[in-house]
């Protein structure tokens, strides 16, 4: 009993140092993987940059689904809005500085997060799920119809960002975009680690477990979820903007149900409720996609479906969650 | 006046097709509390089977319908046994993932087997052409679709209200644990309801092929339509589902006729408005 | 009369049946009141009306002289009316320290802060340690709630309520479901509640009522039929009728 208590107390006292260590380790892993990716696939930086942008979308989805318990099939609405906001700023308003475009994307995503949050948080359970699906279709239809602004089904082309910081041109090989993406991902990751561990992050975990208890504490679950939706929108918007800057085109597929569902698959594949899980899921899924769709594009959707069923049946905590659980159990056994 | 009449007939036919497809979803959701996103995929399978039977095998329409219904049940029952059974009582996210996984698989396979093009189910001569009502004429197929909807509603009403199975079904919907304690074999009730639900979906998929064309992305395209019927009408409620189908059919059809350039925009807007106004459904226990 | 909490002529009916019928009561700081009544007396409805989860048909609820009848449940908590739950509502995946820290931070309006960690906030941790220490939960501070005993969860429920520094505390059967061996610890915790806190306890266990309450209110069929000292409650004719009339076997209550 006393031993266990000691361990618990130590875990508590050392929690902070331990977590800081994990933050740094996380950043080191991101940067390390980025360098490895650069060295291994110097001709395929576009894929790696897209992976980074999607990783931002999946991180953003993890905030509302993993940390707050809102199941959504419409999260690409935030990503796509960020992409269009950044693209429209460049094409129609001449804002071609990449950092300003990024800011437009973040703002657009945050606004979309606010709008989606207001609608989605009105209902619970099945009606809530229906709202998320209806919203992504609505955004998609809207972007399709507003073709003078968005280019409709042809996509919004002609985005020509200035050199980054006035020096680094967006080259044909996508090196600048890649570096920008990795730095953006690292910064967002570090910020989100702060947020999920803060009092606010703790409040959100409470909302996920029992909103009635949270109300009895005098806090508003809805307000907490709204805030998280706006943050989530900003993160997804950053991802969308990165995609717009790097590919220099925004297509309707960035506002699609399929992208929403795929981002959910990536999150669950990696493991919900953990930022590392979100990253793991994105990387594994997108490499998988690259290989399978190159080999046999016809069966891509079948493979995704089978993958999803397999994860639900055999690894409900996701790849990272399962591995982390195993590691924790081994550590406990050694004590 | 001509337009109003055409809209009304089309809306009624469309609503009835929606009803035939989604009523099974509504009953199974009320019964097993599973968020089943794959229901539309079963309607699509029905459409494909009927199309294959009628066009490639040259079978008659009636025979094609029967083959579609039973073929879909034969395909769906093992899926229920192997996959659905594991997610009864699981968290909502798990159910969403599993059923969307099933949907993706079915879409992928359909795309591979039948290609991305639209498939039609050729109508028999008796259902082609139109019926003259004296002041207007209506496409025979629309009348057939409406009749199917009414027949399904009546048959379900009879099954649920007047038969021994209906008593068990209602007991299990109200309180599955209590029903089981009273000796109702809920597993069998679940399995039979699932089969009936899938069969009705397939029937709706074939009868409605003129209005909801059969193609691989059918299951995703109409997913929200079927789900909203359940969430607005209330899981397990026949009158609720009927009302929701007619309202949605009306909105969608009117939108297509009056503002075709906006496509589905108003439909989704209406869906969002309806769910926001009735977050607990028109008549039922959805959202619990 | 300095009532910290007051209910005036509260009425609520469901489908023509008056479940709460003209209930009034006032509490001063330091009061220890037990609210009892046979099943179906309307205790749950009363709690829901007072906490703001139900709206009354008529009547008023006041906290510190301010009417909160039109203020929602969250606003009432912020004004100092805190409740505990009959069946514990705790976050199974979180630790007692996190529970209490969240309540402390929420009380101070800092639960929305997006940086820092409560373990690194000495003033929060001091309060967490003190509260959990008082309730004998220090050793379990960093263990997940799903792994601690139910009796200890009940104590944590009280700790969370106290961390909100309430003026009025509504305890809904604080010892329900706790094995006999652990009730002593809970009774001790109730005896140690801050002296100036007004406490309204809803309870079935008459032994606990007699040890804890200095005033007993009996609710039957939606109205208060008795309001007085514990020593008089068993002698009151209407109370005997309310209990014995409907529950002939409830001997210990009479």
Domain residues of chain B, as ranges? 2-277
Band (B174; pLDDT cuts 50, 70, 90)? confident
Residue of chain A minimizing CA distance to C91: A209
Provide the pLDDT for residue C200. 92
Q: Does the pLDDT value for residue B238 go beyond 70?
A: yes
For C5-88+162-253, CATH number?
3.40.50.300
Cβ–Cβ contacts within 10 Å for residue B27, how many?
26
Residue B49 structure tokens: 């089977």
B113, A299 contact by CB (below 8 A) = no
Long-range CB contacts (within 8 A, 24+) of A311-317? A311/A265, A311/A268, A311/A269, A311/B97, A312/A268, A312/B87, A312/B94, A312/B97, A312/B98, A312/B101, A313/B83, A313/B86, A316/B94, A317/A271
Chain B meets chain C (3+ C-beta pairs below 8 A): no
Chain A nearest CA to B213, separation (Å): 19
Q: Which residues of A touch B (CB under 8 A)?
A: 65, 71, 73, 119, 122-127, 129-131, 133-135, 137-138, 141-142, 144-145, 257-258, 261, 264-265, 268, 272, 298-309, 311-313, 316
Q: Does the pLDDT value for residue A128 go beyond 50?
A: yes
- Identify the CA nearest to A200 among candidates C113, B233, C225: C113
Provide the pLDDT for residue A16. 47
- Indicate the burial class of B90 (C-beta count within 10 angstroms; 0-12, 13-18, 19 or more): middle
Looking up tokens 């409740």 gives C83
Taking CB atoms and an 8 Å cutoff, what residues of chain A touch B96?
A: 71, 73, 129, 264
Taking CB atoms and an 8 Å cutoff, what residues of chain C touch A202?
A: 94, 98, 101-102, 105, 111, 118
Taking CB atoms and an 8 Å cutoff, what residues of chain C touch A201?
A: 114
* C82-102 per-position pLDDT tens digit: 998 888 889 988 999 999 999
- C112 and chain A: CB distance < 8 Å anywhere? yes
- Identify the CA nearest to C114 among candidates A224, B261, B154: A224
3-state secondary structure of B144: helix
Can you say how many angstroms the Cα of residue A173 is from the centroid of all Cα atoms in its chain? 25
* C192-231 per-position pLDDT tens digit: 888 899 999 998 888 888 888 889 998 888 888 888 888 8
A8, A199, A224 ranked by CB distance to C118: nearest: A199
Q: Does the pLDDT value for residue C253 go beyond 50?
A: no
* B64-81 per-position pLDDT tens digit: 999 999 999 999 999 988
Provide the pLDDT for residue A109. 95
Chain A nearest CA to B88, separation (Å): 13
Q: What does the alpha-carbon distance between residue B87 and residue B93 come to, in Å, rounded to a whole number? A: 10
Average pLDDT over residues C38-49: 85
Q: Does the pLDDT value for residue C252 go beyond 60?
A: no
Band (A13; pLDDT cuts 50, 70, 90)? very low
Chain C nearest CA to A305, separation (Å): 30
Looking up tokens 């639209």 gives B118
Taking CB atoms and an 8 Å cutoff, what residues of chain A touch C82?
A: 216, 218
- B108 contacts A141? CB cut-off 8 A: no
Among A22-26, B2-6, C67-71, top mean pLDDT goes to C67-71
Provide the pLDDT for residue A152. 78
Residue B224 structure tokens: 């929200």
Taken in order B153, B158, B161, B165, the sign of the CA dihedral is negative
Chain A nearest CA to C91, separation (Å): 6
- A15 contacts C94? CB cut-off 8 A: no
For testing contact with chain A, the best of B93, B109, B233 (most A CBs within 10 A): B93
DSSP states of B223-275 as a string?
Answer: HHHHHHHHHHH-TT-HHHHHHHHHHHHHHHHHHHHH-GGGTTHHHHHHHHHHH
3-state secondary structure of C142: coil
Provide the pairing of β-strand C198-202 with C17-27.
Answer: unpaired
Q: What does the alpha-carbon distance between residue C128 and residue C124 come to, in Å, rounded to a whole number? A: 6
For testing contact with chain A, the best of B80, B97, B234 (most A CBs within 10 A): B97
Residue of chain A minimizing CA distance to B94: A312
Residue A274 structure tokens: 């953990």
Residue of chain A minimizing CA distance to B269: A138
Q: Does the pLDDT value for residue C162 go beyond 70?
A: yes
Predicted TM-score of the model (pTM):
0.88
What count of CB pairs under 8 Å joins A to C?
105
ipTM computed for the complex: 0.87
Average pLDDT over residues A212-238: 93
A208, A232 contact by CB (below 8 A) = no
Instruction: Indicate the average pLDDT of chain B.
Output: 85
Provide the pLDDT for residue A75. 94
Provide the pLDDT for residue C201. 92
- A224 contacts C119? CB cut-off 8 A: no
- Identify the CA nearest to A276 among candidates A226, A232, A322: A322
Band (C77; pLDDT cuts 50, 70, 90)? very high
For chain C, counts of helices (H) and of strands (E): 9, 10
Under DSSP, the state recorded for B280 is T
What order of strands is seen across the sheet that includes strand C168-172?
Answer: C81-83, C168-172, C198-202, C32-36, C215-220, C223-228
Q: What does the alpha-carbon distance between residue A173 and residue C101 come to, in Å, rounded to a whole number? A: 51
Q: Does the pLDDT value for residue A62 go beyond 90?
A: yes
B137 forms beta bridges with B132
- C89 contacts A216? CB cut-off 8 A: yes
* A178-208 per-position pLDDT tens digit: 889 999 999 999 999 989 989 999 999 999 9
Which of A13-17, A230-234, B247-251, C211-215 shows the lowest per-residue confidence on average (mean pLDDT)?
A13-17
Provide the pairing of β-strand C58-63 with C66-67.
Answer: antiparallel
Selected from 2.60.40, 1.10.3470, 1.20.1330, 1.10.10, the CATH number assigned to the domain covering B2-277 reads 1.10.3470
Domain residue extents for chain C: 5-88+162-253
Provide the pLDDT for residue B162. 86
Band (A1; pLDDT cuts 50, 70, 90)? very low
Q: What does the alpha-carbon distance between residue C39 and residue C32 come to, in Å, rounded to a whole number? A: 22
Q: Does the pLDDT value for residue C114 go beyond 80?
A: yes
Q: What does the alpha-carbon distance between residue B151 and residue B204 come to, in Å, rounded to a whole number? A: 12
- Residues 15-44 of chain B with CB under 8 A from chain A are 29, 35
C100, C132 contact by CB (below 8 A) = yes
- Residues 199-238 of chain B with CB under 8 A from chain A are 220, 223-224, 227-228, 230-232, 235
- Indicate the burial class of A257 (C-beta count within 10 angstroms; 0-12, 13-18, 19 or more): buried
Provide the pLDDT for residue A17. 52
Taking CB atoms and an 8 Å cutoff, what residues of chain A touch B230?
A: 126
Average pLDDT over residues C42-58: 88
Average pLDDT over residues B235-256: 86
Provide the pLDDT for residue B134. 67
Query: What are the C-alpha distances in Å from C99 to residues A224, B82, C117?
Result: 17, 41, 13
- C160 and chain A: CB distance < 8 Å anywhere? yes
- B97 contacts A134? CB cut-off 8 A: no
Taking CB atoms and an 8 Å cutoff, what residues of chain B touch A138?
A: 265, 268-269, 272
Q: What does the alpha-carbon distance between residue C140 and residue C121 come to, in Å, rounded to a whole number? A: 19
Provide the pLDDT for residue B111. 87
Provide the pLDDT for residue A113. 95
Provide the pLDDT for residue A5. 38
Q: Does the pLDDT value for residue A335 go beyond 70?
A: no
Average pLDDT over residues A34-51: 84
Provide the pLDDT for residue A201. 92
Chain C meets chain A (3+ C-beta pairs below 8 A): yes
Q: What does the alpha-carbon distance between residue C211 and residue C193 come to, in Å, rounded to a whole number? A: 14
Instruction: Indicate the average pLDDT of chain C.
Output: 86
Q: What is the 3-state secondary structure (H, E, C) of chain A?
A: CHHHHHHHHHHHHHHHHHHHHHHHHHHHHHHHHHHHHHHHCCCCHHHHHHHHHHHHHHHHHHHHHHCCCCCCCCCHHHHHHHHHHHHHHHHHHCCCCHHHHHHHHHHHHHHHHHHHHHHHCCCCHHHHHHHHHHHHHHHHHHHHHCHHHHCHHHCECCCCCCCECCCECCCCCCHHHHHHHHHHHHHHHHHHHHHHHCHHHHHHHHHHHCHHHHHHCCCCHHHHHHHHHHHHHHHHHHHHHHHHHHHCCECHHHHCHHHHHHHHHHHHHHCCCCHHHHHHHHHHHHHHHHHHHHHCHHHHHHHHHHHHHHHHHHCCCHHHHHHHHHHHHHHHHHC
What count of CB pairs under 8 Å joins A to B?
143
Q: What does the alpha-carbon distance between residue B41 and residue B32 come to, in Å, rounded to a whole number? A: 19
Residue with the bigger pLDDT between A306 and B121: it is A306
Provide the pLDDT for residue A320. 87
A33, A233 contact by CB (below 8 A) = no
Cβ–Cβ contacts within 10 Å for residue B99, how many?
24
Taking CB atoms and an 8 Å cutoff, what residues of chain C touch A200?
A: 111-114
- Indicate the burial class of A145 (C-beta count within 10 angstroms; 0-12, 13-18, 19 or more): middle
Band (A135; pLDDT cuts 50, 70, 90)? very high
* C59-70 per-position pLDDT tens digit: 899 998 888 888
Average pLDDT over residues B99-106: 92
Orientation angle between helical segments B223-233 and B2-32, nearest 10 degrees: 70
Taking CB atoms and an 8 Å cutoff, what residues of chain B touch A144?
A: 263
- B181 and chain A: CB distance < 8 Å anywhere? no
Residue C227 is inside which H or E element, if any? strand C223-228
Taken in order B120, B121, B125, B128, the sign of the CA dihedral is negative
Chain A nearest CA to B81, separation (Å): 14
3-state secondary structure of C208: helix
Average pLDDT over residues C121-125: 87
Cβ–Cβ contacts within 10 Å for residue C62, how many?
17
- A210 and chain C: CB distance < 8 Å anywhere? yes
Provide the pLDDT for residue B99. 92
Band (A68; pLDDT cuts 50, 70, 90)? very high
Q: Does the pLDDT value for residue C157 go beyond 80?
A: yes
Average pLDDT over residues C132-153: 88
DSSP3 helix / strand / coil % (chain B, rounded to 5): 75, 5, 20
* B122-144 per-position pLDDT tens digit: 888 777 777 777 677 778 888 88
Provide the pairing of β-strand C32-36 with C198-202.
Answer: parallel
């Amino acid at each position: 009993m006393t031993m266990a208590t000691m361990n618990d107390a130590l875990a508590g006292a050392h929690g902070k140092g331990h977590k800081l260590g994990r933050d740094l380790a996380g950043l080191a892993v991101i940067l390390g993987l980025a360098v490895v990716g650069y060295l291994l696939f110097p001709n395929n930086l576009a894929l790696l940059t897209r992976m980074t942008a999607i990783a931002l979308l999946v991180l953003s989805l993890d905030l509302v689904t993993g940390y707050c318990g809102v199941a959504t099939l419409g999260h690409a609405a935030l990503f796509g809005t960020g992409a269009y906001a950044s693209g429209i700023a460049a094409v129609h308003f001449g804002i071609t500085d990449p950092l300003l475009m990024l800011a437009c994307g973040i703002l657009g995503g945050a606004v979309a997060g606010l709008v989606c949050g207001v609608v989605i948080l009105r209902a619970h359970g099945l009606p809530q799920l229906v709202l998320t699906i209806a919203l992504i279709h609505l955004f998609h239809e809207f972007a399709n119809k507003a073709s003078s602004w968005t280019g409709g089904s042809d996509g919004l082309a002609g985005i020509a960002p200035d050199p980054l910081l006035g020096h680094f041109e967006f080259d044909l090989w996508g090196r600048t975009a890649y570096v920008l993406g990795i730095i953006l991902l690292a910064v967002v990751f570090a910020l989100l680690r702060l947020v999920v561990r803060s009092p606010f992050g703790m409040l959100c975990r409470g909302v996920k477990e029992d909103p009635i208890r949270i109300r009895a504490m005098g806090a508003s679950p809805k307000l907490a979820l709204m805030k998280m939706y706006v943050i989530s929108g900003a993160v997804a918007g950053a991802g969308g903007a990165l995609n717009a800057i790097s590919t220099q085109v925004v297509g309707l597929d960035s506002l699609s149900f399929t992208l929403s569902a795929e981002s959910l698959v990536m999150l669950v594949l990696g493991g919900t409720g953990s930022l590392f899980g979100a990253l793991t899921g994105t990387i594994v899924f997108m490499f998988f996609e690259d290989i399978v769709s190159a080999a046999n594009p016809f069966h891509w959707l079948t493979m995704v479906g089978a993958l999803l069923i397999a994860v639900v049946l055999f690894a409900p905590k996701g790849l990272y969650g399962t591995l982390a659980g195993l590691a924790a159990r081994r550590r406990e056994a050694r004590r | 006046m001509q337009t109003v009449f055409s809209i009304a007939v089309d809306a009624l036919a469309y609503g009835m097709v929606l009803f035939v497809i989604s009523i099974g979803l509504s009953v199974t959701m009320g019964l097993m509390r599973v968020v089943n996103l794959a229901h539309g995929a079963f309607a699509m399978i029905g459409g494909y089977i009927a199309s294959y039977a009628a066009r490639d095998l040259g079978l008659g329409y009636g025979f094609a319908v029967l083959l579609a219904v039973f073929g879909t049940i034969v395909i769906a029952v093992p899926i229920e046994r192997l996959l659905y059974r594991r997610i009864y009582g699981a968290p909502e996210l798990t159910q969403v993932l599993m059923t969307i996984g099933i949907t993706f698989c079915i879409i992928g396979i359909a795309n591979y087997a039948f290609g991305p093009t639209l498939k039609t189910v050729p109508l028999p001569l008796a259902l082609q052409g139109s019926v003259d009502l004296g002041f207007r004429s209506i496409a025979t197929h629309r009348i057939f679709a409406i009749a199917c909807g009414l027949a399904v509603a009546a048959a379900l009403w009879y099954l649920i209200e007047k038969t021994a199975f209906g008593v068990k079904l209602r007991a299990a919907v109200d309180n599955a644990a209590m029903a089981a304690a009273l000796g109702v074999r809920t597993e069998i009730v679940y399995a039979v309801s699932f089969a009936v639900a899938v069969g009705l979906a397939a029937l709706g998929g074939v009868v409605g092929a003129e209005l909801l064309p059969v193609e691989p992305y059918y299951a995703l395209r109409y997913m929200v339509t079927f789900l909203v019927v359940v969430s607005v009408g209330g899981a397990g409620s026949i009158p609720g589902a009927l009302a929701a189908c007619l309202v949605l059919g009306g909105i969608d059809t009117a939108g297509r006729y009056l503002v075709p350039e906006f496509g589905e925009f108003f439909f989704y807007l209406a869906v969002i408005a309806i769910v926001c106004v009735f977050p607990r459904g028109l008549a039922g226990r959805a959202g619990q | 009369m300095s009532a910290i909490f007051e209910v005036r002529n509260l009425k609520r009916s469901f489908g023509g049946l008056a479940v709460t019928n003209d209930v009034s009561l006032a509490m001063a700081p330091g009061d220890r009141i037990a609210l009892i009544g046979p099943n179906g007396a309307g205790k749950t409805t009363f709690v829901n009306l007072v906490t703001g989860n139900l709206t009354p048909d008529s009547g008023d609820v006041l906290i510190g002289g301010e009417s909160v009848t039109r203020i929602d449940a969250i606003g009432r908590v912020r004004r100092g009316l805190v409740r505990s739950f009959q069946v514990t509502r705790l976050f199974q995946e979180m630790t007692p320290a996190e529970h209490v820290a969240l309540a402390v931070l929420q009380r101070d309006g800092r639960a929305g802060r997006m940086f820092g960690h409560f373990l690194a906030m000495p003033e929060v941790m001091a309060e967490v340690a003190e509260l959990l220490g008082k309730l004998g939960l220090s050793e379990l501070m960093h263990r997940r709630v799903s792994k601690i005993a139910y009796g200890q969860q009940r104590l944590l429920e009280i700790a969370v309520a106290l961390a909100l520094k309430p003026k009025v505390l509504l305890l809904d059967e604080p010892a329900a479901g706790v094995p006999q061996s652990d009730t002593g610890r809970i009774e001790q915790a109730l005896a140690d509640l801050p002296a100036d806190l007004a406490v309204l306890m809803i309870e079935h266990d008459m032994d606990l009522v007699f040890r804890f309450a200095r005033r007993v209110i009996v609710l039957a069929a939606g109205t208060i039929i008795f309001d007085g000292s514990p020593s008089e409650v068993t002698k009151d004719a209407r109370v005997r009728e309310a209990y014995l009339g409907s529950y002939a076997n409830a001997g210990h209550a009479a």
